[in-house]
Chain A
């Protein structure tokens, strides 16, 4: 199975951030690679910058030897270069891109004048604008490396699942989702039986008072609703190239303060659902059907674990379902346990400034193991990114979120504020205290040869964070 994820624009970038953490937590359906193509003409996109950082932190972590028989880091994320793919050069206008001024006085130029306003034509393309973006993308081709990878998978007989994510009420995502999906469908027209295309259309879930700095062409939140309906109507009237379309939005639109083009939005909930939509799509078999999917929650004001779907995975080609909560919470505990009692002492232990005998897990997994400081550093950077993301997920404006207890931890830097909440951090009472984890780390365990180095310790810590009895 070949998995391909195309993120388009700011909301797409935030979906990638969520998907990266879900991949790290082992929620993908199988161990196949997840290939990422980022499409964003805006080099100042704060969301993409943050997602890139998360991805870059995770990239080295996924190669640590945690073993092939664990969900932890089971999916390898592969970035397609260029990352991101910028269809246009910075500060170029649509007139520049299509060479309008070179056309002279011909009917094509007149048609162009009828279809676009002067303002649109003079807008910098990296500011994002659906109809402009569509023109840009129509003139460009999908990066060859990405297509070759897909074709390679399909030619080897693998099923290929391509998922696109972006918002449809803003700029880049709105332009890119239908355009790129159609370009892909055209390029892969002779691989229909092997290729399935899905997408999540993120509908309004935040608002802002006005774009600052006089950027009047940028979509304003008061028009989000109108633009959403217009875009959906457009989709309804076009040939549906998607095998599955997911819809995610929110009736409570949190106000994003100090919004500016390229700023990083502080909400993660819709994008978490968007990432879960990708997981759902990746778990479905390739069919020629066209499906539309949306999801509900149990409380109009709150989020809890019952609002998230059961996931599917394939272990040894056997399909099985699992609860997101269990796997995600185990992963979260694994990160928090590391932050609580490994990170503060590890550097000193490695440098010999602290006595090893007080830390049997260090003796068992670090002493003489030749563990590189860079591996530790990469993992700790990733852990920081995860906690920061989780913290923002837990502190939604006007929403009570009951996933991982927000009171237990702080972010930036990541730390546990109330260690006693660790055992019931997801609201479920367990005996799994931090002390218990520490204790388990000292138990003797054997791993196969795929488990090695720093990965071996992480694997052990991850396993120790599994709830054995509730």
Chain B
């Protein structure tokens, strides 16, 4: 047989099927798979940027039909368009997962029914565009499925996809432009294109998805039990895709799926195979106990439910915990990847549009002041000898600085002074480059607790150098004893001015205020506007709040705390009685005491 060449574009397999015995003869073929053979034999084109690059499907329904071609391009035959199958599978899986987890992740989905049959009966001219070329194929053999079973699916109010009688769902032609980069994980890695969400779903979500897919597959299997021909091909292809999806989910899950309930999703998908998409995994009441970033506070303190969240903190902690950010549960339905500045704009009880109920989130930096007050000394030293010393305090003292701990009051509502002392530390590169570190005790990925180290740098303008003379701060007595409830705080600023004109002081000023968790402060001058204070307290305070007024400003604000050492616990010595006499003189005061029947002695200070 002479060699002949087909008058066709490049063929790279099964060429004989298209060659006649000799040239110039129309080779006739009546086999029904001729076109499929031709598609498979034509040389594959290069990879395409996206599904939108294929614009040759001459049909109003080109988008869902192309979606089907690409999705079902499986099996032994190679891809008819390089890379397209994978892209479409990603989109398909993402949309199905959104439907499955709608309730669980509180996804803002809506569906509008498009009853083309009704519009056609009404002779709607607009509908004619769609009905004139209406496809007749479906996975259940219903030739009218495209007339009755189409729904448009909206995500956050924008059209994202449609239901399809052949592929269940198909992405909208223009969704990348519609969402304009606003798609988030786990549905999209780049914000533009939907992608397979498996690697970005939490363990719990994967387990839920697995249950949902199994249910969907079983429903479709029942539907397609007796179909034949092209319908059978569609049903089998669809089931293969679902099966592959479920296997991938289970592989990633690494174990058996837990029990989940399916409930109506309120999308009102009632027709055709779309009705199987109407069920969603039932959402369970979100609980702070699910969160990997729950702050484990001192149980004797405030019972506020707090989670520690910021875009960087949750990602760093996820990395520390060796959990992919997409699977790191910040809140039920919110992964570390979902936490962005934008997602935190809804107030402290909302993340990524998820309401946290009675839980609030805090950023790590919320517990610390933005400025660090330091007492600038002439020489290294410690002017707060009765204060608890956090790690690094001494090192900073070497720069002739004593730091006022820039912690906010809320931290003391969560942790005791001792706990704070153990978790707080400082390092310094220089006298104006100081870093604060705090080890937040969080629940962690395993629920067994893990510390998250937060670091905040103070440098340059972040430092307040207090230039005043060192204040006198005394609390007396420096003991604790059961039943003892009389303490006195004395505070004196050597630059003190009269209380009368304190409000208009032009100079820098600061004062302290005693703080004990759970105890109200009584008989203390408002805003400390006395430069010399003697206050009677009913307990030995655990901290002193440090309040500061800038020179030239009338506003006084808290800038930190001094944590106090707990005084020694003393027990009463039985039979030990003192008698004290005080002579309040004009030039000096004398105090004598009399103990155990001995002679009276002058008390020296």
A98 neighbours in B (Cβ, 8 Å):
125-126, 129
Q: Which B residue sits closest to A116, measured CB to CB? A: B173
Once A139-B128, A219-B56, A306-B23 are accepted as A-B contacts, the answer to whether A234 and B8 lie under 8 Å apart by CB is no
Once A138-B132, A291-B28, A292-B28 are accepted as A-B contacts, the answer to whether A228 and B9 lie under 8 Å apart by CB is yes
Once A115-B173, A309-B24 are accepted as A-B contacts, the answer to whether A234 and B59 lie under 8 Å apart by CB is yes
- The residues in A between 80 and 136 inclusive whose CB is less than 8 angstroms from any CB of B are 98-100, 103, 107-108, 110-120, 129-131, 133-135
Task: Name the residue in A178, A239, A296 with the highest tally of chain B Cβ atoms < 10 Å from its Cβ.
Answer: A296
Does A230 lie within 8 Å of B126, measured CB to CB?
Answer: no
Q: Which B residue sits closest to A177, measured CB to CB? A: B58
A133 neighbours in B (Cβ, 8 Å):
58
Does B150 lie within 8 Å of A111, measured CB to CB?
Answer: yes
A interface footprint on B18-38 (CB within 8 Å = 1, 0 otherwise):
111011111111111111101
* Interface membership of A144, Cβ < 8 A: no
Does A114 lie within 8 Å of B27, measured CB to CB?
Answer: no
Once A99-B126, A228-B9, A229-B39 are accepted as A-B contacts, the answer to whether A295 and B27 lie under 8 Å apart by CB is yes
CA distance A358 to B133 in the complex (A): 67
Does A138 lie within 8 Å of B60, measured CB to CB?
Answer: yes
A108 neighbours in B (Cβ, 8 Å):
114, 119, 124, 126-127, 130
Rounded to whole Å, the gap between the CB of A216 and the closest CB of chain B is: 11
Does B38 lie within 8 Å of A247, measured CB to CB?
Answer: yes
* Interface membership of B251, Cβ < 8 A: no
Once A115-B63, A139-B129, A175-B58 are accepted as A-B contacts, the answer to whether A107 and B113 lie under 8 Å apart by CB is yes
* Interface membership of B44, Cβ < 8 A: yes
Does A295 lie within 8 Å of B26, measured CB to CB?
Answer: yes
- Looking at chain A, what size class is its interface with the partner chain? 35 or more
CA distance A183 to B38 in the complex (A): 25
Rounded to whole Å, the gap between the CB of A286 and the closest CB of chain B is: 16
Q: Which A residue sits closest to B15, measured CB to CB? A: A296
* Interface membership of B568, Cβ < 8 A: no
* Interface membership of A399, Cβ < 8 A: no
Does B10 lie within 8 Å of A251, measured CB to CB?
Answer: yes
* Interface membership of A68, Cβ < 8 A: no
Does B59 lie within 8 Å of A277, measured CB to CB?
Answer: no
* Interface membership of B518, Cβ < 8 A: no
A403 neighbours in B (Cβ, 8 Å):
none
Rounded to whole Å, the gap between the CB of A103 and the closest CB of chain B is: 6
* B152 touches which of A107, A290, A293 (Cβ 8 Å): A107
- The residues in A between 215 and 243 inclusive whose CB is less than 8 angstroms from any CB of B are 217, 219, 222-237, 239
A interface footprint on B432-457 (CB within 8 Å = 1, 0 otherwise):
00000000000000000000000000
* Interface membership of B575, Cβ < 8 A: no
* Interface membership of B255, Cβ < 8 A: no
Once A223-B45, A296-B27, A300-B5 are accepted as A-B contacts, the answer to whether A130 and B129 lie under 8 Å apart by CB is no
* Interface membership of B81, Cβ < 8 A: yes
* Interface membership of B61, Cβ < 8 A: yes
CA distance A103 to B25 in the complex (A): 53
Does B133 lie within 8 Å of A114, measured CB to CB?
Answer: no
Does A229 lie within 8 Å of B42, measured CB to CB?
Answer: yes
* B35 touches which of A99, A230, A235 (Cβ 8 Å): A235
Does B8 lie within 8 Å of A247, measured CB to CB?
Answer: yes
A178 neighbours in B (Cβ, 8 Å):
58-59
* Interface membership of A204, Cβ < 8 A: yes
CA distance A251 to B130 in the complex (A): 36
* Interface membership of B172, Cβ < 8 A: yes
Does B26 lie within 8 Å of A227, measured CB to CB?
Answer: no
The stretch among B46-54, B181-189, B368-376 that forms the contact with chain A is B46-54
Once A114-B172, A229-B45, A237-B69 are accepted as A-B contacts, the answer to whether A296 and B20 lie under 8 Å apart by CB is yes
Q: Which A residue sits closest to B56, measured CB to CB? A: A227
Rounded to whole Å, the gap between the CB of A66 and the closest CB of chain B is: 29
Once A111-B162, A249-B9 are accepted as A-B contacts, the answer to whether A297 and B4 lie under 8 Å apart by CB is yes
Does A291 lie within 8 Å of B56, measured CB to CB?
Answer: no
* Interface membership of B6, Cβ < 8 A: yes
A131 neighbours in B (Cβ, 8 Å):
55, 57-60, 62-63
* Interface membership of A24, Cβ < 8 A: no
Does B43 lie within 8 Å of A223, measured CB to CB?
Answer: no
Once A130-B62, A138-B133 are accepted as A-B contacts, the answer to whether A293 and B114 lie under 8 Å apart by CB is no
- 30 residue pairs of the A-B complex, CB under 8 angstroms, read A100-B126, A107-B114, A110-B152, A111-B150, A113-B174, A170-B56, A178-B59, A219-B55, A222-B45, A223-B53, A223-B55, A225-B9, A225-B44, A226-B48, A226-B53, A227-B56, A228-B45, A230-B54, A230-B66, A230-B80, A231-B57, A233-B69, A292-B30, A292-B38, A293-B26, A295-B20, A295-B25, A295-B26, A296-B22, A307-B24
3 A-B pairs with the lowest CB-CB distances in the bound complex, closest first: A225-B45, A227-B56, A236-B35
Question: Which positions in B face A, CB cutoff 8 Å?
Answer: 2-11, 18-20, 22-36, 38-39, 42-46, 48, 52-66, 69, 80-81, 112-115, 119, 124-130, 132-133, 136-137, 150, 152, 154, 159, 161-162, 172-174, 177-178, 230
Question: Which positions in A face B, CB cutoff 8 Å?
Answer: 98-100, 103, 107-108, 110-120, 129-131, 133-135, 138-139, 168-170, 174-179, 182-183, 203-205, 217, 219, 222-237, 239, 246-251, 253, 270, 273, 277, 280, 289-300, 306-310
Known: A100-B126, A295-B6. 13 other contacts (CB 8 A): A98-B129, A108-B114, A110-B154, A114-B63, A118-B177, A174-B56, A174-B58, A179-B58, A223-B53, A228-B9, A239-B136, A248-B7, A298-B24
